[in-house]
Amino acid sequence: MGAIKRTPADKAFSDCVRSAAEWTCERCHTYYEEGRRMGLHCSHYHGRGKWGIRFCVENAEALCYGCHSYLGSQPNLHSDHKLELLGQGAIDILREKSNDTSLGRLAKRDVKFIAKHYREEFKRIHQLRLDGVTGKIEINSWS
């Protein structure tokens, strides 16, 4: 099976997730210089192949390469980690959304709008940082 194509919406979403986390791994709290994409990833709990939640803020977090690789290779630990962050109710909602094919069709149809939305969110987050806001910033999800 081939790699999943990275769209402009994926890039904009990833930039938002990492910027909102203040370029810091949300598991080990290692800081990465802003814009240095090689060390900090946008990790999806349910993979990007699940279009219904591919751009869902609750499904993603900023993780360094090491934490992303470790949790990716340890599904039970990844589940425990996400459960601790979100709670069982949110995990159940994510699971339902991940299997909702109508959400997936909507995301595929609106991928250009999604890219635009997250580029605007990135600008908003960047402006908040310039204004002195620190810590994790809430991202306005497209859906």
Task: Quick: pLDDT tens for 20-79.
Answer: 999 999 999 999 987 665 789 999 999 999 999 999 999 999 999 999 999 999 999 999
Distance (Å, whole) CA 118 – CA 14: 9
Hey, what are 72's tokens?
């990716």
pLDDT tens column, 79-118: 999 999 999 999 999 999 999 999 999 999 999 999 999 9
Q: 6 pairs with which residues across the strands?
A: none
Q: Would you say the C-alpha torsion 127, 133, 137, 143 has a positive or negative sign?
A: negative
Between CA 82 and CA 80 the distance in angstroms is 6
**Virtual CA dihedral for 49, 55, 61, 67, nearest 10 degrees?**
20
User: What residues does 41 pair with on adjacent strands?
Assistant: 63
Handedness of CA 85, 89, 92, 97 (dihedral sign): negative
